[in-house]
Amino acid sequence: MRKDDCIFCKIIEGKIPSAKVYEDDDVLAFLDISQTTEGHTLVVPKEHYDNFLTTPKEIMHKVMDVAQRIGQAEIMVLGAKGINILSNVNKEAGQSVFHFHVHVIPRYDRKGGFTLEMKENPKAKDLSLPALASEIKKGL
């Protein structure tokens, strides 16, 4: 099922043009219009799912397989030195288009166009990691 107000659904339907990198029956990959770094690609399922957490496993596996292949190609053909694979879930995590998608962001150096920084959590020393792990396990 596609959503009428979803920009990615419109791209999939051909209502909005895109620079396609890959397409099969279930997955479409196209260059991100922002080109955070040269070759920044979005990989999306053709069916609409809001995010990573709501996507069926078999579809997610297909999307991730394509993301891996694109990352390999970007290293081999574009000369990228590394790749960031990223999917944001919900607005608080930076999701701006609510159609599951994976960013494949080629990295040519550490400074170019994209920054991801994991900062030290000052409260980490006060956390009980076994208790936190136990809480997470309850939801599995």
- pLDDT of 34-90, one tens digit each? 999 999 999 999 999 999 999 999 999 999 999 999 999 999 999 999 999 999 999
Residue tagged active-site, from 48, 99, 101, 103: 101
- pLDDT band per the 50, 70, 90 thresholds, residue 117: confident
Compute the distance between CA of residue 32 and CA of residue 34 in angstroms, rounded to an integer. Answer: 5
On the question of pLDDT at 114 being above 80, the answer is no
Mean pLDDT of all residues belonging to the chain: 92
- pLDDT band per the 50, 70, 90 thresholds, residue 130: confident
Residues 80-101, buried b or exposed e (16+ Cβ, 10 A)? beebeeebbeeeeeebeebbbb
So where are the chain's domains?
Answer: 7-138
Establish whether 99 is a catalytic residue: no
- pLDDT band per the 50, 70, 90 thresholds, residue 1: low
Q: What pLDDT, on a 0 to 100 scale, did the predictor assign at position 28?
A: 98
Q: What is the mean pLDDT of residues 108-129?
A: 80
- 116: nearest Cα among 37, 26, 29, 27: 37
- 101: nearest Cα among 57, 58, 60: 60
On the question of pLDDT at 5 being above 80, the answer is yes
User: Domain 7-138 is classified in which CATH homologous superfamily?
Assistant: HIT-like (3.30.428.10)
Asked if 43 and 27 count as a contact pair (C-beta separation under 8 A), the reply is yes
